[in-house]
Amino acid sequence: MITLHDIPALRAQLADWRRTGQRIGLVPTMGNLHAGHIALVRAALSRANRVVTTVFVNPLQFGPGEDLDAYPRTLAEDARRLKEAGNHCLFVPAESELYPRGRDGHTCVEVPGLSAELCGASRPGHFRGVTTVVAKLFNVVQPDVAVFGQKDYQQLMLIRRMAADLDCPVEVVGEPTVREPDGLAMSSRNGYLTADERARAPALHRVLVEAAEAIGAGRELARTEQRAMAALAEAGMRPDYLSVRRQSDLGHPGPRDGALVILAAAHLGRARLIDNLECSRPTGP
């Protein structure tokens, strides 16, 4: 595995691979890699001849008072895990490499509408930062395929929308959420949890499963959302939101929409946990 830090060197390496007709895969990350990230790399390896994984803690997607400075940075361990997984190139740019005009002077990419809902309502500007850096990486790497985790369901939908709107010639693939044995979705921020909080954290997934079962049984959506929010609070969490949406576009479901997804975010100590679960409901004739 090679490690590169500047765009010209990366483009030169990619040009060498493309000259021999090799298909390029991209896995963007912020580092502090866990098994969920490695699953994304393996998914990319199954779809491409060469895989570039990026590690960049993107300042544009952090709001005031969020954990930009505290976000765990474990580059040496990340590189070891990526090499063992068979990753071909690790791209670790400095902030000045991606944003030479600074954070406030850089052109931004924003998907209207959905960027301001759900996690976007709680974290204004967050998704503008995400779509900006992903658009930048799509331009730099020009991958044939890019792989993202479905744990960040809204993010995945926004990236797909951005790629379609901007005619990016890349296949955007979503991979299933990787979970701990007790159901907690793997996340770099799980390390913020104390032992007691970690014991309570799987309640988020359990509540989603219970809500999905209620929806599958034909229960009313608004009432199911209310009960699920109450269950999160009873589990010792501070719910941010829990919302049932259409899988296709995260719009509010109409009476004939059967393919749904439940999305939730809740605070537990220092951590803000997010998760989701796809489900379906009977829609009748």
Catalytic residue among 5, 34, 37, 267: 37
Distance separating alpha carbons of residues 32 and 29, to the nearest angstrom = 9
Q: What is the DSSP code string of the chain?
A: -EEE-SHHHHHHHHHHHHHTT--EEEEEE-S---HHHHHHHHHHHTT-SEEEEEE---GGG--TTSSTTTS---HHHHHHHHHHHT--EEE---HHHH-TT-TTTS-----TTGGGSTHHHHSTTHHHHHHHHHHHHHHHH--SEEEEETTSHHHHHHHHHHHHHTT---EEEEEPPPB-TTSPBP-GGGGG--HHHHHHTTHHHHHHHHHHHHHHTT--HHHHHHHHHHHHHHTT-EEEEEEEEETTT-PPP-TT--EEEEEEEEEETTEEEEEEEEEE-----
- 37 belongs to the catalytic site: yes
Residue pair 175/39 in contact (Cβ under 8 Å)? The answer is yes
The residues carrying an active-site annotation are: 37
